[in-house]
Amino acid sequence: MESAAANPMSIDDRQSVGGLSISRVFFEFVEQELLPSIDFRSEVFWSGLESIVTELTPINRSLLTVRDELQQKIDEWHVARQGNPWKQADYVAFLKDLGYLADAGKPFQIETANVDAEIADIAGPQLVVPVSNARFAINAANARWGSLYDALYGTDVISEDNEQQRGGGYNPARGAAVIRYATAFLDNAIPLDGVSHADVNSYGLDRLDTGTVFVASLANGETKSLKDPQQFVGFSVDGEQLGYLFRNNGLHIEIQVNPDHPVGRDATANVADVILESAVTTIQDCEDSVAAVDAKDKVGVYRNWLGLITCELEATLEKSGKAITRKPNQDRVYTATDGGELALSGRSLLLVRNVGHLMTTDAVLDTAGDEIFEGILDAVITTACAMTDRRREGYQPNSSSGSIYIVKPKMHGPEEVAFTDKLFSRVEQLLELESNTIKVGVMDEERRTTINLAECIRAVSKRIVFINTGFLDRTGDEIHTSMQAGPVLPKEAIKKEPWINAYEDWNVDIGIRCGLPGKAQIGKGMWPKPDEMLQMMETKQAHPEAGANCAWVPSPTAATLHAMHYHAVNVRQRQHALAKRKLASLDDILTPPLGDLSRLSANEIQAELDNNAQGILGYVVRWIDQGVGCSKVPDIDDVGLMEDRATLRISSQHIANWLLHGIAKKGQVLETFKRMAKIVDRQNEGDASYERMSDDFDSSIAFQAACALVFEGCSQPNGYTEPLLHRYRRQKKAQLAT
């Protein structure tokens, strides 16, 4: 069990209920906001929470002990064989004897029921956003629909050559390039019969006995229909603006026509915009992108999640000298082709990512006075918040099937997944929900989960709705698991090792074989460069082609652009084709990314250290000093990268490995951190709230935290960064409070 450093509260700051000691701020949130919103009795809630904590805490502790024992035995095995040639067969046999690699059970198909179409049937982009930031959380929820014109105009997808520059007001030349790009997309996604959308003079409707049909009129008076007329599903009228709604590969496209619009006035067929259904689903994150280290922080996280589900959350910001309030979008209403009403949600279907099994929280102390496991509290509270979905008015429900979707990260193997199933069952009993109301997303980001993925899925076969891959956390766990085996390759070389592609394919192969298509998502990881959208468009179509029916993107704009890939690729057809291929190699997956680094020059080693240290510092300084868990952090070349704790885990474990095996020395690493701190200070000069590290390294809590992540990296549980981050962030909060 990992508890952050002590964070004393006076007795006046806590409320005793039964055997629990509850933080006052958390108690008041539950009593005054949460329980009234679901009309649930206080005494039943608190006694039920205590019962769950009492029953499940020993199991949780035992599972963490198993993690440590397995790692110790793996370390001892590697140490005993140092200097000997690597024998893969011996290694795999050892892992099997150890119980690390479980026996495969009989083939099975998942039985998850009552899954919303956004998860079961529709392939599309997925956003992940820190729920602690209300503005980001609302923007992500609202990213269900996005302007293709805006996404193209404001990014590098459209070249700035030939007088097509951004900035300085509207550039007609750039606007024309945007329209050409969007028109080419329409020709591919919803083609007309025999002509291009560029040839259209006007769009319109014909009313037939069978219903309303879409027509396109050419300059010569000829009319054309869609190549597949069934793609047209509805229309809307709002003053001078007409909206024509289409569906392709399950995703909607709306062509907005408005002759009075500044763009539509001069555009072919007066098309003012093309609106794409974009982030079909969004994961509201309580974990890696959030810096929540105490009860007050957790209440902020829970309050935002509650407000998102009730659609009452608002965020005000200043833009161009004016106050702008963000709130959840209203639903979109169209007239269907049969004359009836067609209502579509204006918001992404929301999942919530809880924390893993490791950390504890001071929001509640158990009967022994110990912090309870944060993952247990997350399961109870985020589920209770999600129950308000059934009570709100004026909006379509988040889940039309009445399900609650929780993504569970950082689980190691089938026993830990089974524990989550038990936890969710107990929460359902407490909150009087039907069995398997709570659905689970299993993140395939730890080595013991990857190699036992089918058995992990089996453990939650009646509630699973999501699996995915994540290179960074998975690589961090790979390094830590094999820490004593030898030095790992440089990070870029690790990406080229056979285990990576085998891991990515294995996830899809196992998911398909276990029956996820049509019932659950198979996902792929984040595009980390929010300013490099052209590069994303050129490469990220590989994710749907790999059989993934969702993949993570860093912004609403990226979601709109990435949506085009799902119009180009029918993911269900790809999954059907991939079901016939040979299962990916488990031997490749179990081959650690080790190498002979003797050929690396001193400059190459230093460059790797510089890159890792700069990335660690750039992220940690905001986490510790400002409580920012996810942000666009400039890398060593000043390229902005979206970073959260997963990026930190791989970088810190990488340096720790090189220190352990003598590739670098402690003094060299410390000097590197000090030199990189000056670069990070320079990169943050425009941030008025930023605290420089290089002015006084000894007094900078953020600098000390960054160093600790490396110098204590070998001893951190599974290489996780949370224990140290929480400890130093609490120190910083205590300093700020004095």
Active site residue 390: no
- The encoded tokens of residue 7 equal 């964070």
- The encoded tokens of residue 600 equal 């690396």
DSSP 146-158: EEHHHHHHTSTTS
Q: How many residues would you count in the chain? A: 738
Q: Which of 14, 174, 353, 448 is catalytic?
A: 353
The three-class DSSP label of residue 325 is strand
Q: Which of 644, 649, 729, 730 is catalytic?
A: 644
Residue 270: DSSP 8-state: G
Burial class (CB within 10 angstroms; exposed 0-12, middle 13-18, buried 19+) of 733: middle
462: CB partners within 8 A, 6+ apart:
110, 111, 112, 113, 435, 436
Q: Count of CB atoms within 10 A of residue 425's CB?
A: 15
Q: Count of CB atoms within 10 A of residue 519's CB?
A: 18
CA distance linking residue 359 with residue 96, whole number of Å: 28
- The encoded tokens of residue 536 equal 């994303």
Active site residue 644: yes
Residue with the two structure tokens 């599972």? 63
Q: Is residue 281 within 8 Å of 119, Cβ to Cβ?
A: yes
3-state helix, strand, coil split of the chain in percent (to 5) is: 45, 20, 35
Residue 358: DSSP 8-state: S
The three-class DSSP label of residue 334 is strand
Residue 41: DSSP 8-state: -
Q: Is the dihedral of CA 225, 226, 229, 231 positive or negative?
A: negative
Find how far residue 65's CA is from the centre of its chain: 28
Alpha helix segments (H runs only) across 285-413: 295-310, 374-386
- The encoded tokens of residue 255 equal 């062509």
Query: What per-residue string of b and e applies to 635-648 under the rule 16 or more CB within 10 Å gives b?
Result: bbeeebbbbbbbbb
Q: Is residue 286 within 8 Å of 294, Cβ to Cβ?
A: no
Q: Is residue 286 within 8 Å of 356, Cβ to Cβ?
A: no
Alpha helix segments (H runs only) across 190-326: 295-310
| SS3 labels along 570-608 | CHHHHHHHHCCCCCCCHHHHCCCCECCCCCCCHHHHHHH
Element (H, E) at 44: helix 42-80
The three-class DSSP label of residue 199 is helix
**Residues labelled as active-site residues:** 353, 644
